[in-house]
Amino acid sequence: MAVDAVSLDLAASEFFCLLGPSGCGKSTLLRLVAGFEAPDSGAIRLGDEDLVALPAHRRPVNMMFQSYALFPHMSVGRNVAYGLKGLAHGRAATAERVAALLRLMRLDGYADRAPATLSGGQRQRV
């Protein structure tokens, strides 16, 4: 059983990362929500709507595939900061947020490294 008793409560437009060790069901969960796989039992609800019977192309969700697209000319820290552009943060607050995110992803100390120096799993976390 790859996914069992998962419940997520996300606000509209909320920034969300799904982190966990290899083989814990992250990709399976995303594929279930997107409609690329069907659950053996249970429901996949978005608001009051059960999405299980709805085909993937009709679901009001997006899927980010695992192939990573990092900017090779930018450091790891700058790649993370790029994802925060457009949010109301000053430079100092952005730097603090980048440091916190790198700690969360167990990549503290990697901010100044080039993406090419990271392992595949580390690149996925960035």
The CB-based long-range contact list for 33-39 (8 Å cut-off, 24+ gap) reads: 33/59, 33/61, 33/63, 34/59, 34/61, 34/62, 34/63, 35/59, 36/63, 39/3
Q: Which residue has the tokens 């392992």?
A: 119
Domain spanning 1-66: CATH superfamily: P-loop containing nucleotide triphosphate hydrolases (3.40.50.300)
Q: What is the pTM of this model?
A: 0.54
Domain edges within the chain: 1-66, 76-125
The pLDDT value recorded for residue 54 is: 93
The pLDDT value recorded for residue 76 is: 95
The pLDDT value recorded for residue 75 is: 95
> Residue 30 to residues 6, 71, 121: CA-CA distances in angstroms?
11, 24, 17
Helix, strand, or coil (residue 56): helix
CA–CA separation, 118 vs 105, rounded Å?
13
**66 pLDDT higher than 80:** no
The pLDDT value recorded for residue 1 is: 63
Q: Over the stretch 77-124, which tens digit does the pLDDT of each residue have?
A: 999 998 888 776 788 999 999 999 999 999 999 999 999 898 777 888
